[in-house]
Amino acid sequence: DSGPTLEPYFNETWAVCPSLLPSSKQKLLKDLATDTVKCLGFKDGVFHVEAKLTSHGPQLIEVNARMGGGPVHETNLRVWGIDLVEETLFACVGIPSRPFIPSRNPPGGAIAYCDVNAKKSGILQSMDFLKILKGKDGVVSAKPHLGAGAEVVGPQDGLPTWLVEIIVQRPTAQAALDYLLELENSLDPPIV
């Protein structure tokens, strides 16, 4: 699941896996994704499919014949125990891919991640605001996208700059998302 975008720029905010949606809504999105990939003529492989559940049902956003970017590989590996790079290689050499996917209670619990958006424009003075995340239980990683001295853009001036990618892991999707949002809200990047 992806969170609401930062408008008016549609900048991504957060994501969580496994889904928080009821299984009936997940099925609608899964069926749309699967049917679309088949309609495009694909029979096997790893695909990045984005769709949105609207008041008019599921709507396709995009399909890519590749693994998703960002922390998608690590998320699937940690939550489901599925290595999408291996699955891609299997597909390339014709080895059938049917990874085990548990119906509930994924073996790795849940992952939530976000790219922290700059809240205002200016110069990022230091990276010290990330120190509170170091060694914190449940924080998988906090990877800065830039360094101290970087010029950043806030939403009042344009597409906000992503400052850092944070990944957390917890036993459930809701716990992971709540923890992620709590951590994100505790950060105070020094932008002047």
pLDDT tens, per residue, the chain with 192 residues: 999 888 888 888 999 999 999 999 999 999 999 999 999 999 889 999 999 999 999 999 999 999 999 999 999 999 999 999 999 999 999 998 877 777 677 888 999 999 999 999 999 999 999 999 999 999 999 999 999 999 999 999 999 999 999 999 999 999 999 999 999 999 999 999
Sequence-ordered list of residues with C-beta below 8 angstroms from that of 146, at least 6 positions apart, any chain: 124, 152, 161, 163
Distances (CA, A) of 126 to 78, 130, 132, 134, 149: 31, 9, 14, 15, 7
Which amino acid is it at 27?
A: K
pTM tops 0.85, yes or no: yes
**What pLDDT, on the 0 to 100 scale, is given for residue 8?**
86
H helix runs in the chain, sequence order: 23-39, 72-80, 84-92, 173-186
User: How far from the centroid of its chain's Cα atoms is residue 36's Cα?
Assistant: 21
Q: Report the half-sphere exposure of 50 (CA within 13 A, side-chain side).
A: 12
Distances (CA, A) of 152 to 14, 127, 161, 185: 20, 13, 6, 18
Q: How far apart are CA 64 and CA 66, in angstroms?
A: 5
Run of H or E residues at 152: strand 151-152
Which pair of structure tokens corresponds to residue 149?
Answer: 């001295």
**What pLDDT, on the 0 to 100 scale, is given for residue 119?**
94
